[in-house]
Structure 1
Amino acid sequence: MQENVRPTFLPLTSQHSVVLTWLLNSLGGILLAGLFFLLACLPFLVSRDSEVRIIVGLIFYPLWAYALYRFIRYIKNKMAGAIRNIRIDEKGIHFDKKKGNTVHIPYDLLGPSSRSTPYDVYLVPVNKTQHLAFGLQGVETTLVFDGSDIGSVSYIKNGRALRAKFIEGIARFRPDLTIDPAVFKAFSIHPQKFTFDGKQYRKHVLQGLLMLVGLLALGCLITLLLTLF
C-alpha cells in the first residue's frame, strides 16, 4: 500500500475558471442557436416549390417543435442536477448541487464492486477515456472530477488535484482498500505524495502529440507512395 507522507489531511475545494466557463457556454450557445436556425429553415431548403414547402412544413414543424420541447426539458433536468462545487475532506467527497442539495460519497461506504477485478479502486474505459471506478455499497461507481459526467455549472480547473486528493483520502482513511497502480500512472499522481504530477502529465501529453504527428506523417507517406506507384 502507498505510504502517505503528509502529516495532515487538508480539505480541498473545486476552483472555477470564469473565462473558460464563459467561453464554453458562449460557444455551446452559438452552436445550438445555429443548429436550431438551420433546422427551422430546412423546409425552405428542400424545394423552391411553395406547395412542397407548405406540405413539408406542416409535417416538419410539429415534429421540430416537439423535439425542441423534449430537448429543453432534458437540459432543464440535467442542469437541475448540475454541480456548483466539489469538496473533499476527511469524511469523503461532497457534490453541492445547483438546486441546493448535497450528494455525499463517504469513504466508509467504499468497498469492492460487482466487477471481477483484483483491485477495489481501478480504471474503466468510458468513451475512449479512463474514469476512476470503485464500489459504492457493492455497486460500481465512476467519478469525473471536473463535473462533466454530472453537468457542471462552471468549468472546474483543479479537477486533477481533486482526483489526487480523493485517492489520498482513500489511502489514508480506507487502508483496507487496494488501489490499482495503473491509477497513479493514468492520472499522473505521485504514488507517495498523492499530488498531481504536472511534469509527468506534460510528458504524457507530449508523447500523445508525437504519436499523433507520427501517424499523420505515416498516412501522408503512404498516400504519396500510392500516388507515385
Structure 2
Amino acid sequence: MQEDLKKEFSSMVSKPSWVITWLMNIFGGAVLLIMFITLAVFPFLVSGSIKVFVVVTILYYPAWAVGMYQFFHYVKKNMAIAIKKIIVDDKGIHFYKKDGGIDEILYSQLGLSRLSDDYEVYISQRRKSWMLAVGIDRSETKVAFDGTHLGSIYYIKNARALRARFVEGIAHFRPDLRIDPLVFEEFSIHPEKFTFDGKRYMKHIIEIAVTVSVLLLISVLILIVIKIV
C-alpha cells in the first residue's frame, strides 16, 4: 500500500515569479541606496561648524565603516545559504540552497510537539502571520514555503500549492499524525483534494478587506462626531 501511495504521489517544485522578484530587488536596492547615502552624509547634516564637523567625522566614520562591513558581510553570508529551489515529494520537503546544501523536513521525522497537545500538525504565529508548524523531537518547527525562514533568491509564486502538497504528503504517509482542522481553514486547503482552494482564499481576502474598511469607516465617523461635539 505504501509503495502504491509513493507511485501516485507526484513531486512538486517551486516556481519563480521573475517579475515580482525583480520588482522586490529594485525596491529593496533603492531603499538600501537611500539609507547608504543618508548615513554617508550624516556628519554634513548635523554639523553646524567646521570644528563640530571635524569632531563628528573623526568619531563617526570609523564606526560607519565597521557597520557597513558587518552589514555587507552578513548579506554575503546569508546569500550563500539562500533558497534556490523547494521540492515536496514522497519523502518530505527539501530546501536546496545556493551553496549546494540541502535542508529537509521528512515525514518520518514528524511527531509530537511540546507546544501542542492536541495535534502534531497545526498553525503557529510568527510576526503577526500564521505558519504551518510540525513537531520534530517534541520541538516546534515552523515551515515557510516561500523560503523566507532561510531567505530565497526569488519570489516563489506557488508557495501555497507547495504547502498543500506537503500537508497531503503528511496525510498519505503519516496517517497516525493529527492535523488541526484550522490548517485547512487558514491556508485555504481543500480537506479532501489537498489542493489550494483559490475561491476560499479570495473569500478570506474579501472578508479581511471588508472588516478593515468597516473599522476605518467607524473610526472616521467617531472622529467626525468628536469634532462636532
Q: How does 1:146-161 map to 2 (within 5 A)?
A: 146-161=146-161
Structure 1 residue 8 corresponds to structure 2 residue 12: no
Count of paired positions: 223
The structural deviation recorded for 1:58 is: 1.0
- Structure 2 partner of 1:109: 109
SS in structure 2 of the partner of residue 176 of structure 1: coil
109-118 vs 54-63, which deviates more?
109-118
Normalised by the length of structure 1, the TM-score is 0.95
- Structure 1 partner of 2:24: 24
- How far, CA to CA, are the matches of 2:91 and 2:201 in structure 1? 28
Structure 1: which 5+ residue stretches go unaligned? 1-6
- How far, CA to CA, are the matches of 2:130 and 2:98 in structure 1? 26
Q: How does 1:14-163 map to 2 (within 5 A)?
A: 14-163=14-163
Q: Render the CA deviation track for 1:37-68: whole Å, top value 9, x for unaligned.
A: 00111111112311111111111111111111
- How far, CA to CA, are the matches of 1:118 and 1:140 in structure 2? 13
127-136 vs 114-123, which deviates more?
114-123
- How far, CA to CA, are the matches of 1:172 and 1:68 in structure 2? 49
- How far, CA to CA, are the matches of 2:77 and 2:214 in structure 1? 43
Q: Render the CA deviation track for 1:13-60: whole Å, top value 9, x for unaligned.
A: 000011111110111011001001001111111123111111111111
Which structure 1 residue ranges, 4+ long, deviate > 2 Å from structure 2? none
The structural deviation recorded for 1:156 is: 0.3
Q: Is the 8 A contact 2:95 2:104 kept in 1?
A: yes
Structure 2: which 5+ residue stretches go unaligned? 1-6
Greater relative contact order (Cα 8 A, min sep 6): structure 1 or 2?
1
RMSD over aligned Cα, in angstroms?
A: 1.1
Normalised by the length of structure 2, the TM-score is 0.95
- How far, CA to CA, are the matches of 1:216 and 1:115 in structure 2? 36
Look up the equivalent residue of 2:183 and give its one-letter code.
V
Identical residues among aligned pairs (%)? 48
